[in-house]
Each structure stands twice: as structure tokens, then as C-alpha cells.
Amino acid sequence: MKDQVLKAMKDAGKPVRPGDVAKILGADSKEVSKAIKDLRQDGAVVSPKRCFYEPA
């Protein structure tokens, strides 16, 4: 799931919300939020502004 979320963020080309990523992937938003949390801890994703995320 983390790889899919990261790829969707890169493809978007701009900061996205977890709900947007969930729509793109057709996945549950809770799963996407969990993957984003893990990616943030790994340093693969940053938050340029509140509730928006993009690849580091």
C-alpha cells in the first residue's frame, strides 16, 4: 500500500490530501492515512501545509 500511495503522490505532481489519494487508488481512506503516516516516519513524504502531503 505504501508504494501505491507514494506513486499516486508522485503522479499527482502537487501536494494532495489523503482522501484524494484514496479516490485515485480506489482504496479505503483509513488505509491510505495509515500508509502516509508510515511514509512520514520513513521520511519519504513531507507535509508542505496542513493536511496536504507530497513526496520528500
pLDDT band at 50 (very low <50, low <70, confident <90, very high): very high
Q: How many residues does the chain have?
A: 56
**Average pLDDT for 13-41:** 96
**CA 5, CA 8: separation in Å to the nearest integer?**
5
Instruction: Supply the pLDDT for residue 30.
Output: 95
**Average pLDDT for 4-24:** 95
User: What pTM was computed for the model?
Assistant: 0.89
**CA 35, CA 18: separation in Å to the nearest integer?**
10
**CA 17, CA 47: separation in Å to the nearest integer?**
10
Instruction: Supply the pLDDT for residue 27.
Output: 95
